[in-house]
A and B are shown apart, each in its own frame.
Chain A
C-alpha cells in the first residue's frame, strides 16, 4: 500500500472540499502507469487502503463513499514538512556556500523555497561559528590545492574525485561545498565515478 501513497497525494490534494472522490478515480490513478500490473480485485483493495489512510489523516470523510475534507493541519505539521524538505533528493539546490564559510539560500530560489532554506539553516544551526570556521578552512584548502595543481599542470578532475567519490560508502565532510566548489568538473566526476549520487 505504502508504495502508492505519495502518488495518490496529487489526486487527494486536487479537488475542492466536499467533492465526491469515486473509488474508480483512485483505481485509475493507481493503474495509470502500468495498466496490466494489477488485477481489478487488487486495484479495488489498494484503493480502499489508500482512501482509508487519507480518511484517518482527515483528508477524506465517509465510509463507502468518500468526500474531500479540509484536514486540520497545525504548526507541527508545517514544521515537519519544512524539515522533511531538507532531507529530500536534490536539496543541495537550496543552498549556496560562500568562501567565508557561511551557507545562504541560493539566489536561484523563489520566495517560498528561500523561506524553506532559511528555516533549515536556522533549525540545524548551519551557520554556527564552529561550522563556518571549518567550512572556511576547507574552502581555503581547496583553493590552495587547485592553485598547486594548476601551477604544476596537473589534472583537476583527479583532485575533485578524491573528495567527491565516496570511500567505504561514506561521503567526505562538506561534500556539497566541494561539489559546488568544483562546479561542472564535479558533475563530470560524479557522472563517471559515482553516478548513484546524481
Chain B
C-alpha cells in the first residue's frame, strides 16, 4: 500500500496541499526518489487510486487532518482509507 511513499509525501506538505501539489512533488521534484519518469507517473497514479490525495474527497481530507495526531496509527489509517475506496467489495462477500 506504499505507506512509506505516502508518509514522505504528506510530510512534505501541510493539510491544504492540492492534488496538483502532490503530483508536482512526485513527478517534477521526485521527492519519492523513483528511478525513472515512468515509475514516478505510475507511483502518482497508484497513490491516487489508493488515497485520492484530493481534499475534495472527504475521506482523504479527514485522513489528512488527523494524520499527525499519532504517528503510530498512520499505517492503519491509510489501510482504512484504501479499503473504504476499494471498488470490488462484493466479490468476496
Contacts and interface: CB of A to CB of B under 8 A. Distances in A.
Contacts of B75: 56-58
B50 A2 contact: yes
Interface residues on A, range: 20 to 34
B85 interface: yes
Given A3-B86, A5-B86, A57-B1, A81 B80 contact: yes
A81 B81 CA distance: 9
Nearest to A8: B92
A130 interface: no
A54 B66 CA distance: 21
B78 interface: yes
Nearest to B4: A56
Interface of A is mostly: helix
A194 B62 CA distance: 30
Contacts, number: 88
Interface residues of B, number: 31
Interface in B31-81: 49-50, 58-59, 62-63, 66, 69-70, 72-73, 75-81
Contact of A74 (B70, B79, B85): B70
A169 interface: no
Interface in A68-84: 71-74, 76-77, 79-81, 83-84
A5 B81 CA distance: 11
